[in-house]
Structure 1
Amino acid sequence: MEFNESQKRAVRHCDGPMLLLAGPGSGKTTVITHRIKYMTEEHGVRPDNILVITFTKAAANEMKGRFQELCPGTRGVTFGTFHSVFFWMLRNAYNYTAANIVTDSEKYGAIRDSIDRHGFRYDSQEDFAKNVVGEIGNVKSGRVSLENYESTTMKLEDFRIVCDEYENFLRRCGKIDFDDMLVFTYELLSERPDILKMWQNKFRYILIDEFQDINMIQYDIVKLLAGERQNVFSVGDDDQSVYGFRGAAPAIMKKFPEDFHGTVIEYLNVNYRCSYDIVECSKRIIQNNRDRYEKQLRSAFAAGQSDRVHIVKTDSMTEQNKKIIDRITELNRAGIPYREMAIIFRTNTEPRALASKLMENGIPFLMKDNIPNIFTHFLAENIFDYIRLARGNRDRRTVLRIINKPNRYISRDAFDSPVVNFEELRQHYKDKYRIVNNINVLENDLERISRLAPYAAVNYIRKAVGLDAYVREYAEYRGVSEDDYMDILEEIQDSAKDFLSFDGWMEYIDEYTKQ
């Protein structure tokens, strides 16, 4: 295989730290696998002294597969994610098994139970629980004390209570979560020099892929493992960091040469994947990044060898999907096979509506990822709860999930029985006219919803009841874009348009959920 000069220098680097700044499509996986080959064949490095760390299991398997194709007779190199490698260390020290790892359902259930038990006025549904778990992870991975952490999801005092109870739940059940794997590994290696020495002798050479996505505790563990040898080969691009929500900090890449003295910095700046126009467009966006390594990315292809990049603005997801369908149809009629087209989404929650439109238009397609079930999203549950109440359900948990969406200023303390009676609720607030009026309005809204077809009912819940307004406030409070939430509401409503009764719509939803 032909390597450019930068790739050659990276492949032939052996001892000492190197920071390889690899732009997209620059052949970093090829460089990593050939470097392992070069180290074992040219420098006599034992394969079992080499550790290759990636951020996903799929990436680790791909890297391992690529290396085995390159060196079919070489065995012993360790390929794994941070969590799998660190769990290996904990398993050796503490005899942990897979049964000690908390499941998602256990994790989110503990958070929901804590919220419900204290009567906190937050969603206890899974989407909200995920946000709380994410923040608990930030506390652990950042080794931040609860007293110094400002939650963006809950009130500080509420978050501390939930966090403490979640930790008590884990210890009581003898469980650990993925963030504990990092914390416990750091504590183990810091407090047991003998165990640290054993792993330092085992992993004399450490290669890290996607280094821009490393967080502080992972970085600190790598520094411990590297020891005095400092044979760390870090590959990444600070312009491509995507794990900020997990505490990843591209700024760590800037620290690397300070912490690993004698670091050699090399640049892979030739993109072999994308056309000239795509690379040039990306550079105009990336140049707005601050506090970054300056890189001169260029395409391996000449200008004019492909169509230019087109940017199309739309006012809604429905219009966006129509334009995509129209463009696919236009390209196919021009002779381009469907298999040569690709649609890339920002998140895997977005393609649901488009997938339906592709099927409606008879356009064959293949999904690379599983699409999360939209009907399990907390917004779908909120709409279903309103419909359940409109159809006569008065279960306390159902009422509590929507009673303050939008805010009606009704406290959980007002509900003291498993079944809610609105007349008793009015009596509870008989001296507070505004709240009594809110209860009356809610009852009238539920009666109207019961007489509407599903599509009109969802529209009424969104516009007249005020769910859209609540969602906008919720998004603003969390500091996130409201667009994703609005798209989900629009898609839920769109799913109801072909049904005349709630029964038919619910049967459709049940069937969809089973698939």
Structure 2
Amino acid sequence: MTSRFENKPFGVSSGKVPRAEIAAPGGREPNRPGGDRGERDAAYFRLLEQSGIRLNPAQAAAVRCTDGPLLTLAGAGSGKTSTLVCRTGYLLDVCGVDPSGILLLTFSSKAAAEMRERIAGLPGIDAYAAGRIQARTFHSFCLWLLFSQGMQKEIFGDTRRQHIQLQQLMRELSLQDAYPPENLLALLSSYKVNLMTADDLPDKSDTDRQMKRILLRYEAWKEETGRIDFDDVLTGAHALLKQRPELLDRLRRRFTHLMIDEFQDTNLLQYEVVKMIAAPRNNLMVVGDDDQTIYSFNGARSEFILEFEKLYPRARIVTLDINYRSVPSIVGLGNEVIRHNKMRRSKTLRAANGGALLPAYMRPESADDEATAIVDHINREVAAGRRNYGDFAVLYRSSSSNRAVLEQLVIRDIPHIDYGDGRLLYEHWLVKPVLDHMRLSINRRDFDAMPSVLPTLYIARDKGMAHIRQTDEARPKKGPLVHLLTLPGLKEFQLDKIRQRLEVIRSLKGLVPAAAVTQIRQSFYDAYIQAGEHSEQTSHREMLKEMLDELETSAGRFDSIVSFLAFVDDMLLRNQQTAAVKSQAQGNRVALMTIHKSKGLEFPAVFLIGASEGTLPHASALGADSLRDTRVGLEGEASYAEALEEERRLAYVAVTRAKEQLFVSSPAVQRGKKAAVSRFLLSAFGQETAASDAAVRAEYGGRRGGAPDPGRFGKVRADRFGRSGTSSAAEAPVRTQSVPAWLCTSGSCVAWTRIMHSKDMNAAHKPCPLCGSPMRKGRKDVPV
């Protein structure tokens, strides 16, 4: 393995480095009169040119198309915002449209504000006219509509408050901590944006019925207390337009021209609102890129772009295919990554800029090696004066993948900004109980570590801690958790669970940290996370499993629980100090974010990390046809195909964020398991992946055409849990994980032993039990 950067991905020996065609210079739109608008048209483009704005022919065509439906396919970095802004000015200046008759909808307040500012800065557009244009987010527009009709309900949009309320309702229904609140809200939202309600939720299983009961109670509570959340803003506006034809008619007369930015992110509910207002004129311009549809979990649908002409047979289609952002090699790589998707509109981007820099690829041994190499490179570039910290962004598929890089940045005191929740892996609600069990193994009187342990025993925190403290005050114990055995109201099986847990905690002390995490997971924690029917496979469950795997990987670097916990505490303190000076502006700081967060942004230099099978594409996509929470209405083959294509779109979005330099890293071992280079990179160089599609799907849980397997938290871990999970070699390849081990140094001996205890890790020497030769410390791949 190597941590050097190469010009091709690991394993690619042949094949040309992809490069995009460079758009011919002088391809900008000449300022000649256009169509029947004559000199007014030409004068407008001359004014744009005088203010420094020159549009290419495709952009100008989109600007000039003002009547009827228009689909503008805007490839990455192709100047869609300039096109939208200039078209708005064209409507005002050339077509004489009333500013109040233009409705421009987008998805973020920042984008809407930028639109308004740039429109106001156009030549010939005064501030008063620009101020009358409705440039809003979907939610802002729908909220404006509701308030204009006398709605007085409170907006209940704070996520933390929503979670607290759902937890309270679950306690009232005797379902305390049964389901993560974020899961419940995501489920409810997926139904609402698809024009359904909580009443339409399934009720086939006990799990279905419990979740439906909670969410119906949540909906009733909001109604009783006069509150609505952000999804209700959309559903309320939609219902209002359906119920009030006279109101809809007024809006139709007012808004003669509609423009939708980031159309690929539109969900069914938003699209229905737009279609209602646009009819019957249908002067509707939508701007988007089906290759950047990456929010299906929020209801976004690429078919809205793919099937636009079916709804609007008169629609014109304009493709913006010149990338003004990136050098040819980055544009070319993006083209080669995305062209393998079948469900897309065919387009190949050209590059407007020159540049000889090529994307660089790395095959580190692990995520920690990856992080060290990346941060070393950033430091060298900054020290040499070639880059600033703010030039760099680190992108990754899922939030837990930033653990190693974030640790390196914190340890080395390098300025950075985490665009996630700002928390380390060790602060996550899922991880904290595991760490606290380890803390109790070292100090059984650590009262701060006890509260997170109690829910895993199905004991309420407040009630359990009050009993422990009160009882221990009268009869102190070396391990105060033992007082739970006298907690009133417990059944015998609960008492057995407490005794077993006390034994688990005692058994951890002599283990190395990675083995301790494994022991906790095997003994009870994995089963607790997916207890009973709650174990139905969902992408959320896959994310939780991924976090625990990452914790094991992190712990594997340390030889004792004491040293591991000391490291964790130091990281928590450092991160807390860093968080105290955080702001939302990047400034001169390295940016860390998921690929989803990065859409719409650009950076001089981008690191795409974790570009390996199982991470990108993600395991949740490779096993999509056995996941319960894939997109509403999709199952089996459709779910798998769509999930895999969305993963490829994520890779495309990540690649096209880079302007000058792109670095792609594919660790050979991800979370203790061997991982091949991402198929998306190999296919971009014309190389087929080694594993067959059927084998990969079997490995990650896909069952061709079959129903979900509700008892499987992760087939690859079935043996570890001590449960039946029979999977023959014919059904799936054996997966392995890397573990610390003593390896015989004799060339003729194959003996090795796994390191499980601190005393083995601390030992300097060990004779081979077979041949007596010295053994060395290393790692060994073993079946999971």
Fold in common (TM above 0.5): yes
Aligned AA for 1:88?
W
Contact 2:69 2:284 in 1 (8 A): yes
The Cα RMSD (Å) is 3.8
CA distance in 2 between partners of 1:388 and 1:512 (Å): 25
CA distance in 2 between partners of 1:244 and 1:77 (Å): 30
Range moving further from structure 2, 213-222 or 493-502: 493-502
* Cα deviation 1:257-309 (Å, max 9, x = unaligned): 2222311011011111111111121122212222211112222235xx23221
Contact 1:102 1:177 in 2 (8 A): yes
Matches within 5 A, 1:86-97: 86-96=142-152
- Residue 85 (1) aligns with residue 141 (2): yes
- Residue 423 (1) aligns with residue 491 (2): no
- Residue 226 (1) aligns with residue 285 (2): no
Corresponding residue for 2:375?
A: 325
> CA distance change for structure 1 residues 424 and 332 in 2, over 3 Å: closer, same or farther?
same
Contact 1:275 1:299 in 2 (8 A): yes
> CA distance change for structure 1 residues 505 and 186 in 2, over 3 Å: closer, same or farther?
closer
Correspondent of 2:432 among 367, 377, 381: 381
- Residue 36 (1) aligns with residue 58 (2): no
Q: TM-score scaled to structure 2, two decimals?
A: 0.56
Aligned AA for 1:135?
L
Matches within 5 A, 1:109-120: 109-120=164-175
CA distance in 2 between partners of 1:151 and 1:326 (Å): 53
> CA distance change for structure 1 residues 506 and 234 in 2, over 3 Å: closer, same or farther?
closer
Q: Secondary structure at the match of 2:73?
A: strand
* Cα deviation 1:8-53 (Å, max 9, x = unaligned): 1001111111000110000000000000011100000111111111
> CA distance change for structure 1 residues 110 and 315 in 2, over 3 Å: closer, same or farther?
farther
CA distance in 1 between partners of 2:407 and 2:459 (Å): 41
> CA distance change for structure 1 residues 500 and 25 in 2, over 3 Å: closer, same or farther?
closer
> CA distance change for structure 1 residues 362 and 156 in 2, over 3 Å: closer, same or farther?
closer
Percent identity, aligned pairs only? 24
- Residue 441 (1) aligns with residue 500 (2): yes
> CA distance change for structure 1 residues 506 and 425 in 2, over 3 Å: closer, same or farther?
farther
Superposition deviation, residue 440 in structure 1: 2.8
Superposition deviation, residue 147 in structure 1: 6.3
Aligned AA for 1:182?
L
- Residue 310 (1) aligns with residue 360 (2): yes
> CA distance change for structure 1 residues 6 and 513 in 2, over 3 Å: closer, same or farther?
closer
> Relative to total residues, which structure has the larger helix share, 1 or 2?
1
- Residue 465 (1) aligns with residue 527 (2): no
Corresponding residue for 1:338?
A: 388
CA distance in 2 between partners of 1:268 and 1:151 (Å): 46
Aligned AA for 1:445?
V
Matches within 5 A, 1:58-457: 58-71=110-123, 73=126, 74-75=129-130, 76-96=132-152, 99-120=154-175, 122=177, 128-146=180-198, 149=201, 155-302=207-354, 305-332=355-382, 336-339=386-389, 341-346=391-396, 351=402, 353-358=404-409, 360-361=411-412, 363=414, 365=415, 367=417, 369=419, 371-374=421-424, 376-383=427-434, 385-386=436-437, 390-391=444-445, 393=447, 398-403=452-457, 419=467, 421-424=483-486, 430=492, 438-447=497-506
CA distance in 1 between partners of 2:536 and 2:507 (Å): 30
Contact 1:499 1:505 in 2 (8 A): no
* Cα deviation 1:217-239 (Å, max 9, x = unaligned): 11011011102110110000011
* Cα deviation 1:132-161 (Å, max 9, x = unaligned): 111111111112355654599992111101
* Cα deviation 1:205-257 (Å, max 9, x = unaligned): 11111100100011011011102110110000011012211111111122322
CA distance in 2 between partners of 1:257 and 1:131 (Å): 36
Contact 1:23 1:270 in 2 (8 A): yes
Q: Secondary structure at the match of 1:402?
A: helix
Contact 1:349 1:372 in 2 (8 A): no
Contact 1:394 1:419 in 2 (8 A): no
Aligned AA for 1:440?
R
Contact 1:386 1:402 in 2 (8 A): no
> CA distance change for structure 1 residues 284 and 383 in 2, over 3 Å: closer, same or farther?
same
CA distance in 2 between partners of 1:119 and 1:317 (Å): 42
Contact 2:433 2:453 in 1 (8 A): no
Superposition deviation, residue 185 in structure 1: 0.7
Aligned AA for 1:342?
F
Q: Secondary structure at the match of 2:92?
A: helix
Corresponding residue for 1:47?
A: 99
Contact 1:132 1:153 in 2 (8 A): no
Corresponding residue for 1:407?
A: none
Contact 1:50 1:205 in 2 (8 A): yes
> CA distance change for structure 1 residues 416 and 357 in 2, over 3 Å: closer, same or farther?
closer
Range moving further from structure 2, 307-316 or 342-351: 342-351
Corresponding residue for 1:406?
A: none
Q: Secondary structure at the match of 2:319?
A: strand
Aligned AA for 1:354?
V
Q: Secondary structure at the match of 1:311?
A: strand
Aligned AA for 2:498?
I
Superposition deviation, residue 400 in structure 1: 4.1
> CA distance change for structure 1 residues 471 and 440 in 2, over 3 Å: closer, same or farther?
closer
Contact 1:54 1:80 in 2 (8 A): yes
> CA distance change for structure 1 residues 388 and 188 in 2, over 3 Å: closer, same or farther?
farther
Superposition deviation, residue 122 in structure 1: 4.7
- Residue 478 (1) aligns with residue 538 (2): yes
CA distance in 1 between partners of 2:321 and 2:371 (Å): 35
Count of residues paired in the alignment: 493
CA distance in 2 between partners of 1:418 and 1:255 (Å): 61
> CA distance change for structure 1 residues 510 and 355 in 2, over 3 Å: closer, same or farther?
closer
* Cα deviation 1:303-332 (Å, max 9, x = unaligned): xx2322123234543222111012224445
Aligned AA for 1:478?
T
> CA distance change for structure 1 residues 426 and 318 in 2, over 3 Å: closer, same or farther?
farther
Contact 2:265 2:293 in 1 (8 A): yes
CA distance in 1 between partners of 2:420 and 2:459 (Å): 39
CA distance in 2 between partners of 1:386 and 1:183 (Å): 45
Contact 2:434 2:520 in 1 (8 A): no
Unpaired segments of 5 or more residues in structure 1?
A: 404-409
> CA distance change for structure 1 residues 424 and 238 in 2, over 3 Å: closer, same or farther?
same
Corresponding residue for 1:4?
A: 56
Superposition deviation, residue 371 in structure 1: 4.8
Contact 1:7 1:31 in 2 (8 A): yes
CA distance in 2 between partners of 1:502 and 1:123 (Å): 28
Q: Secondary structure at the match of 2:227?
A: coil
> CA distance change for structure 1 residues 238 and 273 in 2, over 3 Å: closer, same or farther?
same
Structure whose CA Rg is larger: 2
Range moving further from structure 2, 184-193 or 136-145: 136-145
Superposition deviation, residue 120 in structure 1: 3.2
* Cα deviation 1:55-80 (Å, max 9, x = unaligned): 11111112222222225613211111
